[in-house]
């Protein structure tokens, strides 16, 4: 039950933070290309890498891992918005935005996961 509560609490916080983050960066859309989701996913991936590094070292209890990774990060950056945006670009024949979204989201997300993981070393 403790683990379920950890996931639920983290999920509620992550979903709320995602909503607030999107509100803050929603003005960054450029000619129909939604940069806000890219920013949220990049930030989420950075923190996912950082938190994974922390929990991977065995320094965090399971409830903390579930709260941060499964709950908070899982709700903050699910990439569901990414899939819907790609579908929108395809449906509207925006091949350039479709390809740019796929390439940028994946490249930036993987880069930020790595940066978050490396950044943990500054605090360990």
How is residue 7 written in tokens?
A: 């996931």
Kindly report whether the global pTM for this prediction surpasses the value 0.75: no
Please tell me the predicted confidence (pLDDT) of residue 7: 96
Please tell me the predicted confidence (pLDDT) of residue 54: 86
Question: Per the structure, how many domains does the chain have?
Answer: 1
Residue with the larger pLDDT of the pair 28 and 68: 68
Domain span holding position 108: 2-123
| pLDDT confidence band for 13 (50 / 70 / 90) | very high
Within 8 A by CB and 6+ apart from 17, the residues are 72, 76
Asked whether 3 and 62 are in contact (CB, 8 A), the reply is yes
| pLDDT confidence band for 77 (50 / 70 / 90) | confident
pLDDT at 29 > cutoff 80: no
Q: How far apart are CA 14 and CA 69, in angstroms?
A: 10
Asked whether 8 and 71 are in contact (CB, 8 A), the reply is yes
């Amino acid at each position: 039950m403790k683990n379920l509560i950890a996931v639920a609490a983290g999920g509620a916080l992550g979903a709320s933070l995602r909503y607030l983050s999107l509100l803050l960066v929603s003005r960054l859309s450029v000619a129909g290309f939604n940069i806000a989701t890219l920013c949220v996913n990049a930030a989420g991936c950075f923190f996912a890498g950082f938190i994974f590094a922390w929990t991977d070292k065995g320094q965090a209890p399971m409830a903390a891992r579930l709260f941060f990774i499964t709950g908070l990060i899982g709700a903050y950056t699910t990439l569901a918005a990414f899939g819907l945006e790609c579908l929108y670009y395809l449906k509207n024949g925006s091949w350039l935005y479709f390809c740019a979204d796929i390439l940028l989201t994946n490249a930036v997300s993987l880069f930020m996961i790595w940066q978050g993981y490396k950044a943990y070393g500054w605090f360990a």
